[in-house]
Structure formats: structure tokens, C-alpha cells
Amino acid sequence: LLGLGALGAIGGLGYWLTEGLPQNQGSAFATPLRIPPLLASEIIDGERVFHLSAQAGESELVPGVWFATMGFNGPHLGPTIRAARGEHVRIHVKNELTMATTAHWHGMSLPASQDGTAHQSISPETTWTAAWQIGQPAATLWYHPHPHGQTELQVSRGMAGLFLIDDDAPSGLPSQYGVDDIPLIIQDITVQSGGQRSGTPTTAPIGRIGNTVIANGTHEAHFVASTSLVRLRILNGSAARCYNLELSTGDTFHLVGTDGGLLPAPVPLTSLLLSPAERAEVLVTVSRDADLVLRSVPHDLGMSQADNAISGAGDTLGILRITRAGDASTAKLPASLASAAHPGRAAAVDRHFTLGDTTINGKAMDMSRIDTVIAANSTETWMIENASQRAHNFHIHGTQFVVNAVNGQSPAPQNRGWKDTIFIAPGSTAELTVPFGSFADPSTPYMYHCHMLWHEDQGMMAQYVLTDGEQAAATIHHDDTMH
């Protein structure tokens, strides 16, 4: 049996097994990568209509090891929702769990009343319906529950799915879903040595860190590419774990999209840090004799050595093995992409937010308090300062923002596109240009929060409303009795 730090070999390349993985002799990274199905829809009265149902069940996430899991339309994860810019969508969400849940459309520009936060709670045995018009460019968004204080539990058990937006701009990118355009939802779970599952414990200062990584619910996943260029739409769907992604070959890959859409041109990278909720669209070149592993390698989250270790930042974890079969294509890297133009940088900072251990501006979340009132259609400059010793990230609902600067410097290439979530190390600042939507509704708040889900559940979250300028924020309207 291979123990901690035992060196395995794949295609002649070394990788490190983490402690506690059950032995999977002779079949390491041989399980075909599961591809979440595309969710069927029908057009009714000009709307694209989808049905989701939140469910609990059991799933064999590691061969021979069953886990208590949750998902949409199945026991684990959720189907991929796909719709085009300009379309009207209507999504019915039925709660078949025994606890309240919600369905939040992460990264979507839409009215707050359709956003699926704890203000649109869905009690067991009831159905909530969200409807809006997709008004933003092609992007890889996602959906997940957002119930008050229970988000970490539900998401880490598997309630997460991708929401792909298409638009008319020709991208020149691989775009055959499941063939050369591959969804990749990365989560971590806990397997005890001997191959027993266990609930991943929540540990200060970071939350739930599992010891085993799954991709689309597949442990030691293998994808056989039929094309030379593969587009991975990667979502860090973990509660707290950050992944420092690289290819085991050390090869360059190309970042083509971030949270909110495509970049102006592919950006060559050899590693990419992805914190919870962030997405990255990357192109991987798979030559005919390729045998490579997408993996996460040790990194520094800027915390104390002990906290960095608790956060799993010292681990090396294989995620997905990619090999090549077939000669189907010789796709080329596009030279440029259809990217939405960035707003200019405003002169002054409009608002400062200071991140504490589990607070924003010294306060914990209060669902009945509106923290920030913003004029609809305005663009603001937000300065986020992590004044704590803990790693955090920062997510704003209902919009996509541009990162002007991190610690006063131009941001890393991976943060130069449209974003809705940004990692902020202890002692660091991020300055954001945030264009807000047109959906004035003074009684229904959007959230901004840390997307490390234990922090979020602890109350590291606050609320903003959009007003038409004349209105003051009204009393918050809780819409939690729908059927």
C-alpha cells in the first residue's frame, strides 16, 4: 500500500499521492471523466423553460466508497444549464430535500428578486421559479444553493452545476460540449485511510478541506481527447480549498476566459491559482502521444505556515489525466477572442471594505440590514482590504467587475478579465471597477461576501440594494413562502 508521499508514476511522470487515498491498483486515473448532462429545456411562450429539483442521495465518488451527497436532478452535482444572450429563461426549482435550500445563479446579471439568495428561500416540498432575460456576453457561470448558514454543507455535498451563456460572437474556440469543450467542476471530499468516507470537518481558520479531489464527481478521472485542442471550463466548486493548477508536463496552457467571459486574446500560463467559485476557461494542447495530468501543486496563501497547511496549500493532488486518441482535428489557438470592453477606471474610490476574520467592515451578516445603497446603472470603484491573517476571496452578486489593481500593482494575467470573485491574500488590497445593473428594487438585496463557504456561513457577508436614485432603501422583502 502506498502511504503519504509515495511517488506514483503516470506516463513516466511522477505525482504524489495524498494521505488516506484508498489503493486503486492498476487503475489510477483510469475512470472516464463524467460529463454533467445538458439540462433539457422547452420553449413556452417565448421563454426557455428549465426544471431543477434539489435532491439528496448516496454516491460512489471513489470506487467502493459511498458518500452522502446532494445534487440537482440527481444525487450529486447538477446538469449544465445552457442559454443564449437575449433569451428569456424561466427555471422552476423544486426542493425535495428535508431542509430549506435556494438556487443562486452565480455571476448572473439579473433582478435581485430572481437571484436565489436566502431571501428567496425554498422550503421542503415547495417550488420556486426564477425568470429573467439573459443580458450578458458568453461566459461560464454556475449555480448553487445559498441558504442562510447552510451553504457550505449543501455545496460541499455536491450542489453545484454550470450555467453556460452563449452569444453570437464567433469565438474560434472548441465548442462541442463533452467532446472538445469540457466542463470541469473541481471539489474536495474526505476519504479515510482504508477507504472509508467521512464528513469533511470544518476547521478554523479556513473551513472544510477534503483530502481527495474529484472532477465532475470522478475520482482519478481520465479524459481521452479526440482533438488536439481541448477547452476546459474549470470551476472551483470547493468550499474552501484553493487549487494551484498546472500540467504535470510543465507545458504551457492558455487562459481564454475568466468568471465573466472571454479575454481579448489567449494568455499563456504555466500555473493558475483558482479560489472557491472562480472559473477559468483554458485551452490545453494535447499532442498525439500526450499523457498529462492536470494537478494542483503547493502554493502560498499568505497565511501563517500552520494555517497554510490546514488549508491544504501544501498538497499535490492529481485532478484529471488527459490522453489523446484519434485524429479528428488540428484546431489552432485563436489569435484573438470576442471580449467585452472594460469600463475606464474612475478617479476616486467610492467605498472601502475591510475584511476581518469572518466580518466585512466589522459586521456579521444580518438579513434584515441593508449595508450599502447603490444607484442603478452606476459604476463604482471599490477598495477591498484584507486586514485579517486569513485568506479570503470577495464575490459580488448581480454583476461582473474589473480588477484595477492588487496591492496597487497591475493584477496578475489571470485577473485581468471580467471577474465576479477575486482572491485576496492576508494584508492585500484589491481595487475593483464595478458596473451595477439597471434593476432598481430598494426592498430586495443582493449580497457581497467571502466565497470561502465557512466564512460566508459565519456571516462574512453583507447586502446592497439598487435604487433609482430617488428611493431610499425600503424594508427588506422576504419572499420565502412561495409554492
**Is the CB of 334 or the CB of 445 nearer to ligand C2O?**
445
Q: Is 452 a binder of Cu ion (CB under 5 A)?
A: yes
Q: Is 449 in the site for ligand C2O (CB under 6 A)?
A: yes
Question: Which DSSP state fits 40?
Answer: P
Q: Segment near Cu ion (CB under 5 A), from 8-16, 132-140, 157-165, 445-453?
A: 445-453
Binding mask 393-432 for Cu ion (x = CB under 5 A): ----------------------------------------
Dig out the grid coordinates for 239 from the structure. 468550499
Residue number, 267 or 450, with CB nearest to Cu ion: 450
Question: Cell 497591475 sits at which residue?
Answer: 410
Kindly give the pairing relationship between strand 202-203 and strand 253-258.
unpaired
When the beta carbons of 94 and 449 are compared against ligand C2O, the nearer one is 449
Say how many residues touch ligand C2O, by CB under 6 A: 10
Rounded distance between C-alpha atoms, residue 142 and residue 391, angstroms: 23
The smaller minimum CB distance to Cu ion, of residues 254 and 455, is found at 455
397 binds ligand C2O (CB under 6 A): yes
CB atoms within 10 A of CB 39: 20
Q: Compute CA distances 302 → 307, 309, 425, 440, whole Å.
A: 9, 11, 6, 39
Q: How far is the CB of 116 from Cu ion (least distance, A)?
A: 21
The Cα angle at residue 428 between residues 423 and 434, in degrees rounded to 5: 60
> At closest approach, how far in Å is the CB of 27 from Cu ion?
37
Q: How many residues bind Cu ion (CB under 5 A)?
A: 4
Binding to ligand C2O (CB under 6 A): which residues in 146-165?
Answer: 146
Using Cβ positions, the residue closest to ligand C2O within the complex turns out to be 106
Residue type, 12: G
Using CB under 5 A, pick the residue from 90, 119, 392, 397 that binds Cu ion.
392
The reply on whether position 106 binds ligand C2O by CB under 6 A is yes
Pairing of strands 202-203, 139-144: unpaired
Let me know how long the chain is. Answer: 483
Which of 447, 465, 466, 473 is the binder for ligand C2O (CB under 6 A)?
447
Q: Pick from 57, 55, 77: which is nearest to 125 by CA?
A: 55
**Residue 21 carries which DSSP code?**
P
Taking CB under 6 A as the rule, does residue 277 contact ligand C2O? yes
Buried b (16+ CB within 10 A) or exposed e, 20-34: bbbebeeebbebebb
Judged by beta carbon, residue 216 or residue 388, the one nearer Cu ion is: 388
- Phi and psi at residue 476, in whole multiples of 5°? -70, 135
196-198/181-192 β-pairing: antiparallel
By CB under 5 A, tell whether 450 contacts Cu ion.
yes
Strands (E), 113-200: 127-133, 139-144, 161-166, 181-192, 196-198
Nearer to Cu ion, 146 or 455 (CB): 455
Residue 303 contacts Cu ion per CB under 5 A: no
Residue 395 touches ligand C2O, criterion: CB under 6 A: yes
* Closer residue to ligand C2O (CB): 151 or 211: 151
Choosing from 190, 455, 461, 462, the residue that interacts with Cu ion (CB under 5 A) is 455
Q: Which is nearer to ligand C2O, 254 or 279 (CB)?
A: 279
Q: Which is nearer to Cu ion, 292 or 355 (CB)?
A: 355
Closest by alpha carbon to 142, among 174, 111, 183?
A: 183
Residue 455 engages ligand C2O in binding (rule: CB under 6 A):
no
Q: Which SS3 state, helix, strand or coil, does residue 314 take?
A: coil
Beta-carbon contacts of residue 168 (< 8 Å; ≥ 6 apart): 85
Query: Which residues sit at the interface with ligand C2O, rule CB under 6 A?
Result: 104, 106, 144, 146, 277, 395, 397, 447, 449, 451
Query: Which residues sit at the interface with Cu ion, rule CB under 5 A?
Result: 392, 450, 452, 455
